[in-house]
Structure 1
Amino acid sequence: MKLLSWNCQGLGRTLTVRNLKDLVRKNNPSIIFLMETKISSVRITRIRRNCGYNQDVYVEPIGLAGGLALWWAANSSLTVLFKSKNVIHAVRESASLKTPKFITFVYGPPKEGERRTTWNLVRSLSTNLVGSWLLVDDFNDLMSQAEKEGGNPRSMRKILNFQSLLSDCNVMDLEFKGSQFTWCNKRPGVVVRERLD
């Protein structure tokens, strides 16, 4: 099973759609999770069809913010059990032990108060699972100060809250390849880089 997860920061631009199509062509994922789509499901449905996926679930953006899209091929046997502004929780029927039974897709809200609510939702989902679980995310959070460069240090309270979520859910962070940091503020002056999630 190949899975593509991308915080596309708006799916309304031609270049973003072209990049998405290139990623799909090169990687042929069976499941795609898009965050911060910022456009309606009607517009996203056309893009999904052009990418060759026939199953979907959406969470509409609020104004010009947020929005989630989950696409999968018919042979992926995915059933969505729950969806909210920041979480889509699904079960996948497969005879293979190499693929997870449950998959939870999370987009961590940028605002701390909303993030705490989302973390509690993820915790509650984790307590009722029987079988393997994959948590696919853009948590918008840091596990340690080493995951940030520039600007003010991250509050230890926030770091500990995030670490507590991962511990409570009994999940581990998978290694990654590529740049040490996954986000940059792209502002002249004080450059801030972070490895979010």
Structure 2
Amino acid sequence: MSLLAWNCRGLDNPRTIRFLKEITQNHNPSIIFLSETLSKLNKIEEVCRSLHFAGWWGIEAQGHSGGLALLWKNEGGCTILDVSKQYIEFEVENSQVGRWRYTGFYGCPERDRRRESWAILRDLAGRSTLPRCVIGDFNDMLFVDEKRGGRLHPRSLLAGFGETVASCGLTDLGYKGEKFMWEKSRGNQGWIQERLDRGLANNLW
């Protein structure tokens, strides 16, 4: 069973759909979580059908921002447990690994709302003792070197997110390939890159 989480920044872009079809063919993910779909539910359903997935759940975008989608195949059962504008949490049951929890997460993008994201993570961590992973766009960083260019990220935010991850009993799963998944002003003197996407999991998972 493999997972895909991606801040797709809109499902109306044909290149986004081509990428989803390509990665589905090449890597055969069992579960796909998408943040910032910027779309209505009918578009999520259309994407689910085009990828030949068995089921889906979505949170509509508000205006020109937000929106979440969860797509799953027939492998194992997926039970939706809770949803909000920031996450979709569900339980997965698989014959090979048993029951576990997966949270597709989208952190509050505004700096003055980061504490809301941290509070949500702490609340979710206390709801179950099952193996669990949390994957998505956290809009937050753990270390100074996860940003390149621009001003240094506030240490108070680094510390707050790090303390939250530790208190939830989660560990960063690391990455392969490109470190920085978000950027702006590419090619200019003010080019900024950040690592905002990550996977976290408890020891049981």
Give the TM bin, normalised by the shorter chain.
Answer: over 0.9
Opposite residue 180 of structure 1, the aligned amino acid is: K
Aligned residue in 1 for 2:200: none
Cα root mean square deviation, aligned: 1.4
CA distance in 2, matches of 1:95, 1:48: 24
CA distance in 1, matches of 2:75, 2:96: 13
Opposite residue 41 of structure 1, the aligned amino acid is: L
CA distance in 2, matches of 1:43, 1:156: 39
For the pair 1:110 / 2:109, whether they are aligned, the reply is yes
Opposite residue 61 of structure 1, the aligned amino acid is: A
Q: TM-score scaled by structure 2?
A: 0.91
Q: Relative contact order, CA 8 A, sep 6+: which one is greater?
A: 2
Extract unaligned runs of 5+ from structure 2.
198-205
Q: TM-score scaled by structure 1?
A: 0.94
Q: State the SS of the aligned residue for 1:128.
A: coil
Opposite residue 46 of structure 1, the aligned amino acid is: E
Aligned residue in 1 for 2:79: 79
Aligned residue in 2 for 1:9: 9
- Runs of 4+ aligned residues of structure 1 deviating over 6 Å after TM superposition are none
Displacement of 1:75: 2.5
Q: State the SS of the aligned residue for 1:48.
A: helix
* Higher fraction of strand: 2
For the pair 1:152 / 2:123, whether they are aligned, the reply is no
Displacement of 1:65: 0.2
Opposite residue 47 of structure 1, the aligned amino acid is: V
Q: State the SS of the aligned residue for 1:75.
A: coil
Aligned residue in 1 for 2:196: 196
* Equivalent pair of 1:3/1:32 in contact (CA under 8 Å): yes
Aligned residue in 1 for 2:34: 34
Aligned residue in 2 for 1:134: 133
Kindly, what percent of the aligned residue pairs are identical? 34
Extract unaligned runs of 5+ from structure 1.
none
- Seen in structure 2, the aligned counterparts of structure 1 residues 100 and 145 have a Cα distance that, compared at 3 Å, is farther
* Equivalent pair of 1:2/1:28 in contact (CA under 8 Å): yes
Displacement of 1:100: 5.9
CA distance in 1, matches of 2:147, 2:192: 7
